[in-house]
Amino acid sequence: MYCVSRVSLDALYKVRGVASLDDKTMKKLLQTIIVSVVLLQWVDAEAELQSLRGSFIQDKSTFSEVGDYIDDDQTVERHFVQQPPVIPHSIESYRVNLRRNKCLSCHSWAKYKQKKAIKISITHFRDRDGNELSDMAATRYFCLQCHVPQMAIPALVENEFRPVDALNAGKNN
């Protein structure tokens, strides 16, 4: 850190053509800055932030009530190209791990007709390089990475999303 004397500061002010600040002015400026900082901290401390759930940020977090799954087995409309289909039923007791995938008990190509379910897409039989496989690609095995169940709960924020126009072709809006 450099130490600059008052004499050299006065000389610098003269060179730059700036008037020197006397001690009285410096004290007032310092007091004003300190008071401003204290007031800003006080105002900030008084602000009470709330989460989207309505509780204060500093309060202990509480879990919101879990709503019911939309369990009507109706296909849910997609809103953008390449959107994975959402799951129109509960998956609470489903196991998906390295040894077992409960989703495939209904949605596999071998069983979808018998279970009256939607079969998994052909894209699930391609590896990341686009090569066709005889069995489901390992990268697509864990369904819940892309597919999620829908729940009947109120939205925390208003949804202003608008679907892609290509998906609305043929619909009267």
| 79 annotated ligand binder | no
* 31-72 pLDDT tens trace: 999 998 888 877 666 566 666 666 676 677 666 666 777 777
**85-114 burial, b if ≥16 CB within 10 A, otherwise e?**
eebbbebeebebeeeebebbebbbeeeeee
Closest CA to 152 of 85, 68, 78: 68
| 106 annotated ligand binder | yes
Closest CA to 109 of 136, 140, 82, 149: 136
Give the strand pairing for 151-152 and 68-69: antiparallel
Of residues 144 and 164, more confidently modeled:
144
Instruction: Give the angle subtended at the CA of 165 by the CAs of 164 and 170, to the nearest 5°.
Output: 130
% the chain with pLDDT above 90: 21
| 3 annotated ligand binder | no
* 24-33 pLDDT tens trace: 888 888 899 9
Q: Give yes or no for residue 172 having a pLDDT over 60.
A: no
| 89 annotated ligand binder | yes
Of residues 109 and 69, more confidently modeled:
109
Q: How far apart are CA 7 and CA 21, in angstroms?
A: 12
Q: Which of 5-9, 52-56, 123-127, 139-143 has the lowest mean pLDDT?
A: 5-9
Give the number of other CB atoms < 10 A from CB of residue 4.
8
Residue 155's pLDDT band (boundaries 50, 70, 90)?
Answer: confident
| 103 annotated ligand binder | yes
For the full predicted model, state whether its pTM sits above 0.95.
Answer: no
Tell me the CA distances in angstroms from 166 to 35, 123, 146, 159, one per residue in order.
59, 21, 22, 20
